[in-house]
Structure formats: C-alpha cells, structure tokens
Amino acid sequence: MICDLLKENWTQIDAFAKDKMVVFLGIAPIEEHGRHLPIGVDVFETQRWIASAAELVDKKFPDIFIGILPVIPLGYANMGLFPGNIHVSRRLIYETIRQTVSAVAKWGVSNIIVVSAHADPFHSTAVEQACSDVNTVLGHPVAIAPMGSIFSAEEKGLPHKTAPEITAQEHRFPNDFHAGWLETSCMMEIAPETVQACYAERPDICLSGRDMVNPSKVAQAIANEGHIGAPRFANRALGSLLNADSALQLCEAACRFITRTDYEPYEKNPLYNIPGFQVNIQ
C-alpha cells in the first residue's frame, strides 16, 4: 500500500507495523532552468521518480507499507544569480537531512529512502553523508540516498536500462548538465504545460565536466540563458524513457535496501571520498 503521509494522523502512523514500513523523502532545489523550463524542475522530477518507484516497490512487496513525505524544496548548487534561485549551504542540506531522517527513525522506521533529482555531487554528498552519520549514530542502517550512485550507474557498474535512443543522444550531445535535452525531455512528460515552446530555439551551451567545477566559467557560459546543454533536441518520448529508467533504478536501490541485500553500492556517489566533497561538520 502506498500513502501520502501528510494525510495520515499520528495514531494511523503509530498503528503501522514499522518493520514493514518504507518512507520516501525527497530533497531538491528551487532553481532557474533556463528560459524554457520552470524553477521547480528538480522538485517535479523528484516527486515523479518517487511516485513511480513507489508503485514498482509496491508491486514487488505488496505487504509493505510505503509512506511518501513531501519533497523538501532545498538544494545546494552553483548556478549563478538568476531570479528564482534559492540555493542554501551544504551544511544546511546536511543538517536538514540528518535531523529529518533522525526524526523519522524515531517513529521506528528503518527503511528511509532519500531521493533527489538534483545531480550536483556536492549536494548528493551532503545528503549521503547525513544518512551515513545517522546510520552510524544508531548503530544500524535506517537510511540510504541512492541517487548520487544512480546518476553514476555506468561508472559504478549498477544495473540500468538505458534505452538505445538515449545512448545515441548522449553520444551526439554529451555533457547535457542542466536544463538541456535530458531535463527538458523529462519535463515534457511530467508537466508539458510548463515547457515553453522557445526550448527549440535555445542555443547549445557546451561545458566540460572540468568546467562545471569552475563557478566563474559556468556563470559566463550561462549568462542570459541559464541552461547547459542542448534543449532543442528534447522530446517527450525520450522523457518517458528517462523517467521510467530513473524509477526502475530507484526501485532496485530501494528493494536492495529493504532486503539488506548488496545495497552498499548505492550509498555513496563516486566523488564522495575525494577531499573537499564532504561537508565539514566540525
């Protein structure tokens, strides 16, 4: 069974068998996504991926109770000074997740899946670190944040079903980091009414992965536009494939965590242990 936890009262939550309960919690920033996409892209994607993954988990484990919490609209990013951006510190992301997950764990829940459609590794690391620290303090795993690993599924050798259409597009237009064909396609399926027709006229803005860690280079490249990539190659069919694949991967990570079977590869993104990525909590 799947339910929106905001609609439950405490006695109903109290009555759930906690060993059979899974809670999904999202955290994603409000931020500019070019001239053609709304500032809520990452929140909408996070909601969709959680809802679709919850349905898949529900099919696999019909006796489990799946509670969905709202997406916390906070994120760390470096996307310039556009109106619409609400970026917060990595320390705040870390604390928000650490305290929220700790609170849910106090209900007796030990399967908390934290999800973010925001792929910035500095954001992912803060979320993963918070889950890891809660798990350490409690002495047993209660939370996992698998998206940073899912975004690097290829590199980490994790199962994913990237459709040939997506792979071909990735070869033609790589480094589609922000509000390019990837996110525009996803939004064409999730909320097509929010995608402006001018997506087809946006210029291609190309930056390498190395450029992405240089804030002044990013700011210069995206000035007056806001996206990084090639939005003009977006289409709804690609969006359906991308959203479905994200949900499948999220379901895989959640099921492994629920059954405590080889879930560790989903705990940390590949950059987690590089000096400077973890939040300094001293």
Residues in touch with Zn ion (CB under 5 A): 41-42
Q: For residue 14, what are the contacts with CB-CB under 8 A and spacing of at least 6?
A: none
State the CB neighbour count (10 A cutoff) for residue 185: 27
- Which residues share a beta bridge with 144? 113
20/35 with CB nearer Zn ion: 35
105/186 with CB nearer Zn ion: 186
> Nearest approach, Cβ of 47 to Zn ion (angstroms)?
13
31/252 with CB nearer Zn ion: 31
> Nearest approach, Cβ of 222 to Zn ion (angstroms)?
13
> Nearest approach, Cβ of 203 to Zn ion (angstroms)?
19
Q: Tell me the three state secondary structure of residue 227.
A: coil
Q: Among residues 143, 101, 103, 151, which one has the least CA distance to residue 123?
A: 151
> Nearest approach, Cβ of 236 to Zn ion (angstroms)?
18
In degrees and rounded to multiples of 5, residue 180 shows phi and psi of -90, -150
Q: Tell me the three state secondary structure of residue 33.
A: strand
100/184 with CB nearer Zn ion: 184
164/209 with CB nearer Zn ion: 209
23/119 with CB nearer Zn ion: 119
In degrees and rounded to multiples of 5, residue 35 shows phi and psi of -85, -10
Q: Provide the 8-state DSSP code for 198.
A: G
64/247 with CB nearer Zn ion: 247
Q: How far apart are CA 254 and CA 114, in angstroms?
A: 10
Shortest-Cβ-distance residue relative to Zn ion? 42
Confirm if 158 and 266 have CB atoms less than 8 A apart: yes
> Nearest approach, Cβ of 33 to Zn ion (angstroms)?
6
In degrees and rounded to multiples of 5, residue 78 shows phi and psi of -130, 75
> Nearest approach, Cβ of 30 to Zn ion (angstroms)?
10
What count of Cα atoms within 13 Å lies in the side-chain half-sphere of residue 11?
A: 0
State the CB neighbour count (10 A cutoff) for residue 73: 17
> Nearest approach, Cβ of 37 to Zn ion (angstroms)?
8
